[in-house]
């Protein structure tokens, strides 16, 4: 077993199990262990832990300086992710099981030029904004948003 | 905005015998003026004609400014003049679609290599709505009478490099390597940064940026790319007038216009036609190139004044969004006057007043227009980071963009000014 110390979390996983599971567990819709899979995949460190309206938010900062936040329901499921920084992070990792529908929608014709992309589906909203060295965005599943939690609370 | 919508509407208009116009006149500038003194610069060695118009066939966006450039194999007369090049103050570097380059020139542009095995360097250029993939080559780039010799540029969509790394496409899986998907024959990024990536890519391997792609067909791998080899600001490589640009556009009537013709002026405080006049300098963040815009009491720290953004994009939940399946879908359908405050690192504050219109009304009323000065849309339900003064804010203004580390009069880039 290899112990991976991540701020306040210490997660023990075998490297082999991690390699096999990291995509499946990843990101949006995943459980709390997926945050560490994301952290490893994004080559980041867990840099902050906070709460918004009582819900846990884990912030990962990547080597490249991108800040990624993952929002958890009270039973430990990732219901939203957000990012800002000089690059757009690997959304295949962060969107997990939602990625394929994101990919289909992203390649459809859109109106916003090169600075904005907004995808809105019943179970997935993705917003990608910005320009070289200053990107930001968010993704969430409206069906997973906890009571009293709105999109405006995803920062 | 989807051009196919405009086609549909224009067909309706033709049936109704309304003709194509509605292209009401726009301001004519000050004649020989330019710079911060207002008006559009007249012809000159440091002035290129800038036109907002419908882009090349297949492109779908409005409010995009275009220029014509000439690309040559370095030091040779193997050259090609290419129109429909998007002018982008929100990115850095020249990128040309492989499909518009003639075969002779494409094969003559020297490939950049990395390592002892001479592995071709290929770039993944990230945009918020997609990516462009293609090799880094060296070229002479000329515009008006200015010339950047032997600078690294990107050739987008070169079929010689057709294996796109997964971590290039995974951030925004939308390849924009054709004229239609990109919306232009190429782009000239004249933003505040000297290179597209900068020191980040020189000091560590960053996913989704620079790659070495072996000629034996092995998978591309991320590489370190020194700043002097990165796709770089063409203006910084000019012999003179090399500290930045001014985008000068006339005012456009509220309902829109088929075209708007202005100037892309090179240099700031280097000639009589590029002086500050009464412009206010807004220093941008040295790392992100952004300014902070405060709107309705909320600060947006990743904001910009950006010719590569085709509308005002911001958050205001009080504004109505045009319904799906209407011409203005995705944009605001409320007409109103608004005001924001721009605050820079140096604590300079500047009021920014602007007017937005009903997107569906403007498009239905004037479907053939390419210049819509009141086009605005939501940046997301409530994006916490960005307020985007896109091209509509440029109409009727002369907006300076100065390159990092370059002096311009009493100021030093990076800054924007107007």
Each residue's pLDDT tens digit, B315-337: 998 999 999 899 999 899 999 99
Least confident of A64-68, B68-72, B239-243: A64-68
Report the residue from B61, B92, B385 with minimal CB separation from A84. B385
Two tokens, residue A97: 């099981």
CA gap B249, B3 in Å, rounded: 23
pLDDT band at A23 (very low <50, low <70, confident <90, very high): very low
Two tokens, residue B207: 């996913």
Phi, psi angles (nearest 5°) of residue A3: -90, 130
Q: Return the number of other C-beta atoms located less than 10 Å from residue B243's C-beta.
A: 25
Model pLDDT for residues B301-315, shown as the tens digit of each residue: 999 999 999 999 999
Asked if A130 lies within 8 A of B208 by C-beta distance, the reply is no
Single out the residue of B73, B76, B68 nearest to residue B103, CA to CA: B73
At B261 the pLDDT is: 98
Report the residue from B88, B329, B383 with minimal CB separation from A129. B383
CA A105 to chain B, closest CA, distance in angstroms equals 9
Nearest-by-CA chain A residue for B64? A113
Q: Are strands B47-52 and B186-190 parallel, antiparallel or unpaired?
A: unpaired
C-alpha dihedral sign at B168, A113, A64, B209: positive
Burial class (CB in 10 A: 0-12, 13-18, 19+), A107: middle
Asked if A129 lies within 8 A of B308 by C-beta distance, the reply is no
pLDDT band at B108 (very low <50, low <70, confident <90, very high): very high
CA triplet A131, A133, A139: central angle to 5 degrees?
A: 65
Model pLDDT for residues B148-198, shown as the tens digit of each residue: 999 999 999 999 999 999 999 999 999 999 999 999 999 999 999 999 999
CA B386 to chain A, closest CA, distance in angstroms equals 7
pLDDT band at B140 (very low <50, low <70, confident <90, very high): very high
DSSP string covering B75-130: TSS-EEEEEEEEEETTSEEEEEEGGGS-HHHHHHSPBPEETTTTEEEEEEEEETTE
Average pLDDT along chain B: 91
Using a CB–CB cutoff of 8 Å, tell me whether A19 touches chain B. Answer: no
CA gap B81, B77 in Å, rounded: 12
Asked if A115 lies within 8 A of B388 by C-beta distance, the reply is yes
Asked if B200 lies within 8 A of A125 by C-beta distance, the reply is no
Q: What is the average pLDDT across B31-40?
A: 77
Q: What b-and-e string marks burial along B303-335, b requiring 16 or more CB atoms within 10 Å of the CB?
A: bbbbbbbbbbbbbbeebebbeeebbbbbbbbbb
Using a CB–CB cutoff of 8 Å, tell me whether A53 touches chain B. Answer: no
User: Does residue A2 carry a pLDDT above 60?
Assistant: no
Q: What is the average pLDDT across A83-94?
A: 94
Q: What percent of chain B has pLDDT over 90?
A: 85
Asked if B90 lies within 8 A of A129 by C-beta distance, the reply is no
User: Does residue A12 carry a pLDDT above 60?
Assistant: no
Strand partners, B389: B305, B312
C-alpha dihedral sign at A22, A151, B357, B360: positive
Q: What is the average pLDDT across B69-76?
A: 98
Single out the residue of B408, B284, B129, B253 nearest to residue A128, CA to CA: B129
Report the residue from A63, A93, A127 with minimal CB separation from B383. A127
Single out the residue of B312, B339, B338, B335 nearest to residue B322, CA to CA: B335
At B10 the pLDDT is: 35
At B21 the pLDDT is: 33
Window A:71-100, CB contacts with B under 8 Å:
82, 84, 86-93, 99
DSSP string covering B248-304: EB----TT-BS-EEEEEEE-SSSSTTS--TTPPEEEPPTTT--EEEEETTEEEEEEE
pLDDT band at B383 (very low <50, low <70, confident <90, very high): low
Q: Return the number of other C-beta atoms located less than 10 Å from residue B53's C-beta.
A: 17
Asked if B128 lies within 8 A of A116 by C-beta distance, the reply is yes
User: Does residue B206 carry a pLDDT above 90?
Assistant: yes
Model pLDDT for residues B256-287, shown as the tens digit of each residue: 999 999 999 999 999 999 999 999 999 999 99
At B32 the pLDDT is: 54
Do the beta carbons of residue B236 and residue B228 sit within 8 Å?
no
Report the run of H or E that residue A75 belongs to, with start and end: none
At B101 the pLDDT is: 98
Asked if A113 lies within 8 A of B309 by C-beta distance, the reply is yes
Q: What percent of chain B has pLDDT over 70?
A: 92
CA B279 to chain A, closest CA, distance in angstroms equals 24
Q: What is the average pLDDT across A49-71?
A: 92
Do the beta carbons of residue B177 and residue B116 sit within 8 Å?
no
Asked if A106 lies within 8 A of B208 by C-beta distance, the reply is no
Window A:114-143, CB contacts with B under 8 Å:
114-118, 125, 127-138
User: Does residue B8 carry a pLDDT above 60?
Assistant: no
At A63 the pLDDT is: 87
CA A115 to chain B, closest CA, distance in angstroms equals 5
């Amino acid at each position: 077993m290899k112990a991976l110390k991540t701020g306040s979390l210490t997660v023990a996983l075998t490297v082999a199990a991690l390699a096999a599971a990291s995509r499946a567990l990843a990101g949006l819709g995943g459980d709390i262990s997926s945050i560490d899979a994301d952290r490893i995949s994004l080559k980041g460190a867990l840099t902050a832990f906070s709460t918004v309206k009582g819900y846990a938010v884990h912030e990962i900062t990547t080597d490249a300086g991108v800040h990624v936040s993952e929002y958890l329901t009270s039973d430990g499921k990732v219901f939203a992710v957000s990012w800002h920084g000089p690059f757009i992070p690997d959304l295949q990792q962060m969107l997990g099981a939602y990625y394929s529908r994101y990919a289909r929608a992203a390649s459809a014709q859109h109106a916003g030029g090169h600075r904005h992309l907004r995808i809105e589906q019943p179970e997935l909203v993705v917003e990608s904004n910005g320009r070289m060295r200053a990107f930001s965005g968010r993704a969430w599943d409206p069906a997973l948003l906890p009571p009293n939690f709105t999109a405006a609370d995803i920062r | 905005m989807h051009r196919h919508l405009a086609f549909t509407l224009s067909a309706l208009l033709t049936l109704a015998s309304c003709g194509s116009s509605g292209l009401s006149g726009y301001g004519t500038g000050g004649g020989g003026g330019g710079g911060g003194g207002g008006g559009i610069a007249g012809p000159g060695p440091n002035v290129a004609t800038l036109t907002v118009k419908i882009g090349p066939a297949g492109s779908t966006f409005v409010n995009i400014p275009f220029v014509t450039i000439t690309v040559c194999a370095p030091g040779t007369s193997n050259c090609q003049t290419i129109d429909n090049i998007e002018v982008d103050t929100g990115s850095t570097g020249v990128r040309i679609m492989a499909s518009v380059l003639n075969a002779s020139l494409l094969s003559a542009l020297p490939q950049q290599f990395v390592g002892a095995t001479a592995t071709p360097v290929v770039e993944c250029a990230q945009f918020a709505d997609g990516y462009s993939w293609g090799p880094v080559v060296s070229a002479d780039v000329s515009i008006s009478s200015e010339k950047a010799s032997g600078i690294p540029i990107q050739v987008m969509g070169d079929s010689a490099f057709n294996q796109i790394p997964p971590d290039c496409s995974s951030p925004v899986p939308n390849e924009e390597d054709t004229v239609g998907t990109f919306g232009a024959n190429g782009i000239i990024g004249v933003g505040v940064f000297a290179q597209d990536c900068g020191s980040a890519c020189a000091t560590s391997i960053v996913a989704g940026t620079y790659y070495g792609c072996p000629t034996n067909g092995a998978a591309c791998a991320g590489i370190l790319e020194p700043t002097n080899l990165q796709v770089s600001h063409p203006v910084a490589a000019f012999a003179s007038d090399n500290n930045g640009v001014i985008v000068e556009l006339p005012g456009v009537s509220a309902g829109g216009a088929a075209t708007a013709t202005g100037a892309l002026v090179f240099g700031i405080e280097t000639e009589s036609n590029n002086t500050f006049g009464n412009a206010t300098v807004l220093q941008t963040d040295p790392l992100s190139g952004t300014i902070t815009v405060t709107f309705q009491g909320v600060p947006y720290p990743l904001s910009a004044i950006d010719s590569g953004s085709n509308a005002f994009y911001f958050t205001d939940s009080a504004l109505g969004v045009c319904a799906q399946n209407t011409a203005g879908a995705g944009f605001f359908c409320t007409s109103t006057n608004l005001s924001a405050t721009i605050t820079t690192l140096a604590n300079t504050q500047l009021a920014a007043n602007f007017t937005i219109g009903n997107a569906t009304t403007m498009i239905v009323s004037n479907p053939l227009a390419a210049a819509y000065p009141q086009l605005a849309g939501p940046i997301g339900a409530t994006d916490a980071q960005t307020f985007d003064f896109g091209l509509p804010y440029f109409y009727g203004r002369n907006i300076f963009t100065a390159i990092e580390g370059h002096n311009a009069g009493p100021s030093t880039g990076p800054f924007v000014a107007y």
